[in-house]
Amino acid sequence: MMSTSSKGVSLAGLVHADEVSVANGVMGLVRGGNISLKNGGAVALLASEDASLANGYCRWSLAGENASLRRVGAGVVATGNDMTVEQGGGVLVAAGNRLNLTTGGGVALLTGKAEVRHSHLGLLVAGKATLGEGARVLLGTKEAIVLGVTVALVLRMLGLAGRGGRRRPAKA
């Protein structure tokens, strides 16, 4: 178990322990079973079980089981099971089972089941989505498929995609 809490800021480049609990800290890479980070940031969190982040930022966060984010900004957040996000969000947010998002946002969210309230999303890909009050999605699953097919067709017509080899110059 690695635990730190101080009035000042704790700094660490690499942290590895079964249980990690950090308050008021800035970390490079944090690796452990269960990770809790409050009032700080990390470049990467790798939790084999659960990850809990509050009041901070994390560029990469991967949790094997569940993740909880409160007032957190993130680059990429992925979890194998359930995720809860309150007053935060990320560029890419992926949950294997369920994603609960309240008063937040994201560029792309991927999950089996989504419950979204008071949030703005660019792209939502979900097996089942419940959009509550104040939820806004730019592209849902159907729109994302149509956009992907359209982009592929345009690139194909322009000759930028779909060919295995290089073009041969024409002979004179």
CA distance 41 to 31: 14
- Distances in whole angstroms, Cα of residue 151 to Cα of each of 121, 123, 141, 155, 156: 21, 16, 15, 6, 8
The pLDDT tens digits of the residues spanning 39-48 come to 988 999 999 9
The pLDDT tens digits of the residues spanning 126-142 come to 999 999 999 999 887 78
Domain ranges of the chain: 1-80, 85-158
CA distance 165 to 147: 26
The answer on pLDDT for 19 being more than 70 is: yes
Per-residue pLDDT band for 3 (boundaries 50, 70, 90) equals: low
Instruction: Tell me the average pLDDT across 8-21.
Output: 79
CA distance 135 to 114: 11
The answer on pLDDT for 94 being more than 90 is: yes
Contact 25, 43 (CB under 8 A): no
The answer on pLDDT for 1 being more than 90 is: no
CA distance 94 to 36: 19
